[in-house]
Amino acid sequence: MEGTQVEPPRWYGVVKPEAPPRACEVRGSSQWGEIMECNQEKLLKKCTCTYPGCIRKGKCCECVAYHRRKNQLPGCFFPPEIERTYDRSYRRFVACQKGGE
């Protein structure tokens, strides 16, 4: 009908909030902007974690997500002597920062 205000679609002009693709899986650009290539090989060389057999080594995004779910921090946040204890807790991190360890 002419002259009638039409309600814009709910997502008009707004990016639909679907789950973004995993950066490791997609290269190029998307509606979320430029997506970086995964540097797992390069990051693996810099990884300071000594936990044997971890499948997340060199995949920092997965490492952070994993430890965040457990209310922890990745091993690389800790000095080597603490990292080797595998205590990744926030409490241990704070203690390290205060110089208590």
One-letter amino acid for residue 45 of the chain: K
Does 93 bind ligand SF4 (CB under 6 A)? Our answer is no
- Alpha carbons 36 and 25: distance in angstroms, whole number: 10
- Alpha carbons 71 and 91: distance in angstroms, whole number: 10
CB of residue 36 vs ligand SF4: minimum separation in angstroms? 19
The residue count for binding ligand SF4 (CB under 6 A) is 10
Binding mask 11-50 toward ligand SF4 (x if CB under 6 A, else -) reads --------------------------------------x-
Residue 78 near residue 93 (C-beta atoms within 8 A): yes
User: Where on the chain is the footprint of ligand SF4 (CB under 6 A)?
Assistant: 49, 51, 54, 56-57, 63, 66-67, 74-75
